[in-house]
Structure 1
Amino acid sequence: MFQRDYFMRMISQMTEALGQVLGLRKQMKQEEALLVLDDLLDKHFRLSSKLIRSLSDEDLIKVMTTNGLVDTDHLQAIAVIMKQEGLLQGELGRETECYGMYVRSLRLFIRLSLMGAEPTIVEPREQIHELLGLLSAYELPDSAKRLLMEWHEAEGRYDQTENIMYELLESGGLSAEEAEGIYHRLLAHSDEALEAGGLPREEIRQGIADLESAVKA
């Protein structure tokens, strides 16, 4: 009961703070809005805003795990705040900071979706699609692409899994052996599932053959 009450208070305070951020954005007071987000991070997550921003998503998940249980509610809240910070940094013309926050938020939401986290604050899948739109003009780092590839596979979008797989092969972010392993994993699915995912079995077999030829060349 105590945890639930605490969570509801946090949601209420987050909603109030994000409303304040929106109001400040409309007044072109983005720097003040960033301070509101800093304060929100400092108050609710047992860690300073500086530390939260310095941790990788893997380390952040470890910190937010107690007795094997991941606090997905807090992670959702942090991902939402990072996305808001990205919006503010973008409006201030700080492209590097904006990009960094969007990517961090995207990675967290992908991990939450892969965990099957309940959408207690926002729907992770919707946030992923929105962030991909915001990042459409940029090249994602290979580490984020690998995570996105895993998510597409989990969601049954096998054609998009393959597309990212080839991007990673081209950049050197994925080995031919890893790619072949992905193809073989996909072959375990039914013909119906593969067709629905946009990657028929024959195309997978052809992809494996192409990889093997490239390795031999």
Structure 2
Amino acid sequence: MFQRDYFMRMVEQMTEAIGQIMNLRRERKQEEALLVIDDLLDKRFRLSSKLIRSLSDEDLMKVMTTNGVLETDHMQAIALLMKQEALISGELGREDESFSANVKALQLFVRLSLAGAEPTIAEPREQIAELLEELRPYELPVPTKRLLIEWHIAEGRYDRAENVMHELLEDNALWTEEAAAIYRRMLLESDERLLAGGLPRDEVEQGLSALMQH
């Protein structure tokens, strides 16, 4: 009962906070909205806003894990705030800051999805779809692309995983052995699942063969 009440309060507080931020944006008070985000990050998550922004998504997940249990509600809240920060920075013409915040939000939501997080505040898959669309004009960082390969495979989208894998190979950001291991993982799946994921078994085998010959 206590845990459920805590989650409900958390959801209610975040809903109110996001509403407040969106109202400030509508009133063209972007700087005030950024201060609200800073205040929430400083007071809500036992870490400073500066530290939250500086930690990698992987390190942030570790810090937000207590006794082996990931505090997924906190992670969802932070990811949502990063997404709002990206929108505000974009409205202020701060493209680099907007990009960085969007990437951070994307990485956090992907990790939440991979962890099978219960969507207490936001649905990770929906957020990922929105963020990927927002980031489509940009070149994503290598760590983000590596993370997306894992996510696409977990979601059964093998064709998309292969596309990202080839991008990394072309940029010399992925070892041939790593790519081969990804293909071999796919070959462990059923024919039906591979076909549904846009990459039939024969195409996976051809891809692996071409990779090894190269």
TM-score after normalising by structure 2: 0.97
Kindly indicate whether residue 174 of structure 2 is the aligned counterpart of residue 174 of structure 1.
yes
Residue 5 of structure 1: CA displacement? 3.2
- Structure 1 equivalent of residue 193 of structure 2: 193
* Other structure's SS at 2:118 match: coil
Structure 1 residue ranges (4+ consecutive) displaced by more than 4 angstroms after TM superposition: none
Residue 29 of structure 1 is matched in structure 2 by: 29
Contact 1:14 1:40 in 2 (8 A): no
Equivalent residue runs for 1:98-137 within 5 Å? 98-137=98-137
CA contact 2:7–2:120 (8 Å) conserved in 1: no
Runs of at least 5 residues in structure 2 that lack an aligned partner in the other structure? none
Secondary structure in structure 2 of the residue aligned to 1:90? helix
Report matched runs for 1:51-62 at 5 Å: 51-62=51-62
State the SS of the aligned residue for 1:208: helix
| Residue 98 of structure 2 is aligned to residue 91 of structure 1 | no
Alpha-carbon separation, structure 2, partners of 1:119 and 1:14: 13
CA distance in 2, matches of 1:88, 1:181: 40
Contact 1:10–1:44 (CA<8 Å) still a contact in 2?
no
2:161 paired residue number = 161
Opposite residue 202 of structure 1, the aligned amino acid is D
Aligned to 2:78: 78
CA contact (8 A) 2:11 2:120 kept: no
Q: Percent identity?
A: 68
Unaligned runs of 5+ in 1: none
Question: Aligned partners of 1:62 and 1:161: how far apart in 2?
Answer: 25
> Normalising to structure 1: TM-score of the pair?
0.96
Contact 1:110 1:148 in 2 (8 A): yes
The AA in structure 1 aligned to 2:82 is: M
What's the counterpart of residue 47 of structure 2? 47
**2:61–2:70 CA contact under 8 A, matched in 1:** yes
Deviation at 1:55? Answer: 1.0
Letter matched to residue 49 of structure 1: S
Using the TM superposition, give the Cα deviation of residue 3 of structure 1 relative to its aligned residue in structure 2, in angstroms. 4.1
Deviations 1:144-202 (A, max 9, x none): 00000110000000000110110010111111111111111111111111111111111
Summarize deviations over 1:50-87 as a string: whole Å, max 9, x none: 11111111111111111100101100000000000000
In 1, Cα distance between equivalents of 2:53 and 2:132: 20
Q: Which amino acid aligns with 1:71?
A: E
Higher mean displacement: 87-96 or 171-180: 171-180
Instruction: Give, in whole Å, the separation in 2 of the partners of 1:141 and 1:66.
Output: 29
Amino acid at match of 2:78: I
Q: Distance in 1 between matches of 2:10 and 2:201?
A: 48
**Take 2:147 and 2:140, find their aligned partners in 1: how far apart are those partners?**
11
Amino acid at match of 1:83: K
Partner of 2:69: 69
The offset of 1:44, in angstroms, is: 1.0
